[in-house]
Amino acid sequence: MGKTAPTWDLYNIYESFECENFKNDLIELEQLKKETNQLLVSKLFSTSFPQWVFEFIEKQNKLNTIATSLYAYSYASYSVDTTNSQLINQISNIEALFVEIKQINLKFSTAFSQVVTKNPQYLKDLYTTYPQLEFYSFILKEIIALNKHNMSPEKEALAGELNISGAESFSRLQEQLISNLVDTETGKSFNEIRNDAYDKNRSIRADSFKKEILLLSKMSIPFAACLNSIKGTTITLNKHRHWSSALNKALSQSRMNDKTLNALIEAIEDSIPFWQEYLSTKAQILFPNEQNPKIAFYDLFAPLQESGEISAKILPDSCTNLSAKIWSFEEAKQYIIDKFSLFSNDLGKFAENAFANNWIDAKIRSGKVGGAYCMDFPKQKVSRILSNFSGSFSDIITLAHELGHAYHFYCIKDRDFMLSQYPMTLAETASNFAETIIKESIISSLNGFERISMIELHLQDCCQLLIDILSRFYFERSVFENRQKGELSCEEFCNLMIEAQKKTYGNILSEYHPYMWALKSHYYGTDLDFYNFPYAFGMLFSAGLYARYKKEKSAFAETYKTILFETGRLSCEEICKKAGFDIETKEFWLSGIEPLKNQLDELKKYASSVSTQKKSNGN
């Protein structure tokens, strides 16, 4: 059904790179850069410091609004046509503009920090003169704190320019390699092969997994070169910027403290036996005729079948089993709108508008990046979503996830640009909350095997967001530890990946995925490391929010919007405190896992009934 999936409409954002709107925005951007640079050296700095700060913030908001929209359009265009050299050059040109903008920000943060550090009264005078800037108090304190991690303007400029042709190029190379891998035997793209992980037929899953590993292994040398370059560059720059580690920097970018992270990681680690029990139970259901069955990595996303995979029974595409059926995109669209509307009319209408105006590019095709993302356009105040829709229920969950991101931006789009930039941890909260709406709604409405299959799908997703994410966290931490000693070989990356998976999955798996490091784009970001724990954060924080929703019902919808509205100007701890949670304690994170135990109990009862039935049938 992926063939019926739509492509998006970018025409209402910019008609093309040659259209008047795009050209005019480039011209306005250049003018704003000029004005902002003039402001930095103007007499206002010494004669009226509050006015100087106010005008700078005003211009920076306009500057970043335009620049971010230009980049978003460039990247969105490139991400569905990764071999187009014109688009690659266009992204490089926009990235060069961001280097200049970063230089402007650096000059401001240096001057601003020096003044207010020497004389804190200036900050109080700023808020007295411009009370509206009190909304910026956290951000301005953050600027002061981060200023000590800046190199000299000359070094930062050089690092920015080298990044475009260095680490960023390696990041794009990884995307291009993945998006253009093709199985010569079947003609399937890499993304199509990856989607076979959701197939109900184990032989198809196993065969596609072998093809996936083979394709990745053939390109393992360039993948390793990319990752070595990106992580090596990060280590070098972090040293010169006085970051004690990449994780320390990631925590700063996440606006959370190490106490919160430690509590989160400890809670996930405590839950490992629970998730291993879930995987063992799934193996019993999938393979009821085996003694002490285990599942392979390619079975993690396998849908349950009522009679077990050992039987020859195959469910038709028209079956009523919602987790196993193949959905058309139209069915998926209506399903999401209906379920979102149960939470609030506002969320339902938002989703309806996104579908109606072709915000989503869901069609799988060669040259398109894998996975899914949401891209915001602050100037136009809209979003666009990329996914690779093949018709599985997991694809519906993915769409809901990305629409959750888009709704987050919708709730915050009218704030100043600087007040709308929330960290990756809180970004993954709205997306996971949207997923929860879909999954909780359908589970509560089902009975019998359909309920069991949907419970399993929910546990499957949660297992990925906690256990697999933990393995990625372990892997990236070990990569940084080892990369400091020198470059790593393909084999070393594979060994670190398997070691991380064994620490989390344990011996429940009969086969691991040694090349997961090669295909996950999160490892190849040039300025955002450890994009793994934010997913776990988002899942468990959203679980707390959903628990509030179940108590407060429809009244919570406005509270939820207010929480999202504030995410750009406060720390994670402050946002969660406003929601009534203390996230520095392990108990909070464990409370998000606790409700899942009832679902596992249901799954275990079903597994026991399958085993009993097999014995009574003499199998």
Q: Give the pLDDT band of residue 275 (cuts 50, 70, 90).
A: very high
pLDDT in tens, 188-213: 999 899 999 999 899 999 999 999 99
What backbone torsions phi and psi does residue 9 show, to the nearest 5 degrees?
A: -115, 110
pLDDT in tens, 98-150: 889 989 999 999 999 999 999 999 999 999 999 999 999 999 999 999 999 99
- Tokens standing for 332? 């998926």
- In this structure, the chain runs to a length of 619
Closest to 398 in 3D by CA, of 439, 441, 445, 456:
439
Q: Give the pLDDT band of residue 164 (cuts 50, 70, 90).
A: confident
pLDDT in tens, 436-478: 999 988 888 888 998 999 999 999 999 999 999 999 999 999 9
Across the range 150-175, mean pLDDT stands at 91
For the residues of 5-63, what is the DSSP string, one character each? ------TTT-S-TTSHHHHHHHHHHHHHHHHHHHHHTSTHHHH-HHHHHHHHHHHHHHH
58 CB neighbour count, 10 Å cutoff: 13
**Residue 617 identity (one-letter amino acid):** N
DSSP secondary structure code for residue 295 in this structure: B
* From-to residues of CATH 1.20.140.70 in the chain: 2-165
Residue 326: the pLDDT is: 87
Q: Residue 543 and residue 547: Cα distance in Å, rounded?
A: 6
User: If you average pLDDT over each of 159-168, 450-459, 477-486, which comes out highest?
Assistant: 477-486
For the residues of 515-548, what is the DSSP string, one character each? THHHH-GGGG-SS----SHHHHHHHHHHHHHHHH
Closest to 263 in 3D by CA, of 534, 593, 584, 530:
584
Provide CATH code, domain 2-165: 1.20.140.70
Alpha-carbon dihedral of residues 168, 169, 170, 173, nearest 10 degrees?
Answer: 130
Per-residue CA distances from 558 to 542, 546, 553 (Å): 15, 13, 11
**Residue 547 identity (one-letter amino acid):** A
Across the range 273-291, mean pLDDT stands at 94
Residue 392: the pLDDT is: 87
Which of the pair, 482 or 326, is modelled with greater confidence? 482
Domain spanning 329-451+536-569+594-610: which CATH class is it, in words?
A: alpha beta
For tokens 């509205």, name the residue.
Answer: 565
Cβ pair 383, 28 in contact under 8 A: no
Extended strands (E) in 290-394: 360-361, 373-377, 382-386
* From-to residues of CATH 3.40.390 in the chain: 329-451+536-569+594-610
Residue 319: the pLDDT is: 44
pTM of the model: 0.88
